[in-house]
A = this chain, B = another copy of it.
Amino acid sequence: MGVTQMFDKEEEIFAEGDRATCFYKVVSGAIRTSKLLSDGRRQIDAFHLPGDFFGIELGREHRFSAEALGKVTVVAYRRGALEALNSGSDFSGQIVSAMMHSLERAQSHMMLLGRKCATERIAEFLLNLAERLDDDHIDLPMSRIDIADHLGLTIETVSRTLTHLQREGIIGFEERRRTIILKNRPALEAMND
């Protein structure tokens, strides 16, 4: 169970978007896992040292690329070893699935916090909320301070950025600015990657 593989410095173990047929454990050396934005900005999710697992996915694709930092030895496991975990119906499968969702959110939030500017952060935040609420008409359940502390900004910057998006006609407000309407989704999506 598990196949030993070796890679040289800067060699790619898998790429963002590859089918996630395997996951891995570091035996020796070190690995980086990272994501790229279309303009080349990069966020390195984590460095993986001996004993660490990486490349675990519930979805069918790798959401990161993984490269060797030097000569490394890894063990590759078939994805099948995971299927038992999130197998739909039972409660513990639901929990594992919830953990994985938290992980995916946290990892994509790292790109936002590490590499995106204020406008891009707000755009991603709004699109994200709209998707989860399944509505372009967002009744914000949280205050500006909460938004700021989530996006790594200040309330002033959040406020200014929202005003700016409104002036551009990309969003609109309702009742005391606690409700936001997405008027130009494509414009927001264009900022998001």
Which A residues have a C-beta under 8 Å from some C-beta of B? Answer: 1, 29-30, 32, 34, 42-47, 49, 52-54, 56, 69-70, 81-82, 84-85, 91-92, 94-96, 98-103, 105-107, 109-110, 113-115, 129, 132-133, 141-142, 146, 149-152
Contacts and interface: CB of A to CB of B under 8 A. Distances in A.
A49 B114 contact: no
Given A30-B142, A91-B81, A150 B44 contact: yes
A100 B82 CA distance: 14
B95 A132 contact: no
A interface, over-half SS:
helix
Nearest to A121: B114
Contact of A44 (B100, B105, B149): B149
A81 B105 CA distance: 23
25 contacts: A30-B141, A32-B146, A34-B149, A42-B149, A43-B150, A44-B146, A44-B149, A44-B150, A47-B129, A47-B141, A47-B142, A52-B101, A53-B102, A54-B102, A56-B95, A56-B98, A81-B91, A81-B92, A82-B92, A96-B96, A99-B100, A99-B103, A114-B150, A114-B151, A115-B152
